[in-house]
Amino acid sequence: MTGRSLEQLEDDYWGDPPPDTSYLIRTCYRMRQVPLDELDAEGVRILLGQQIGVPYLVPRALEILNRDPFAETHFGYLVDALRRIPEDYWAANPVQHADFDRARRRAGR
């Protein structure tokens, strides 16, 4: 994968979250600074759930699912986060979509 963070890959530095923001927003800001190869299933799920870094995180999510198709996270499954990726992304990335379909079938989801 890569030792670079979403901030570095996108060349988009958000800085610190605004004061009095929610846990989710603070978490997203923090996770954008973590190198992709250090993000676990939960971190990837949270960011994908907010449609953050989709082109970079879908491959990371598929990598995680290829190791463990049942990759469970604290508040849900990584497979479920991938299900919510917009269809236009999958249409533009058919190989990733096929990988996702295989992982989803292995997980029975």
Task: Give the integer Cα–Cα distance in Å for 28 and 5.
Answer: 12
The pTM assigned to this predicted structure is 0.89
The predicted-structure confidence for 45-58, as pLDDT tens digits, reads as follows: 999 999 999 999 99
Q: Is 64 helix (H, G, I), strand (E, B) or coil?
A: helix
Task: Give the integer Cα–Cα distance in Å for 25 and 37.
Answer: 21
The predicted-structure confidence for 91-100, as pLDDT tens digits, reads as follows: 999 999 999 9
Q: Which amino acid is at 58?
A: V
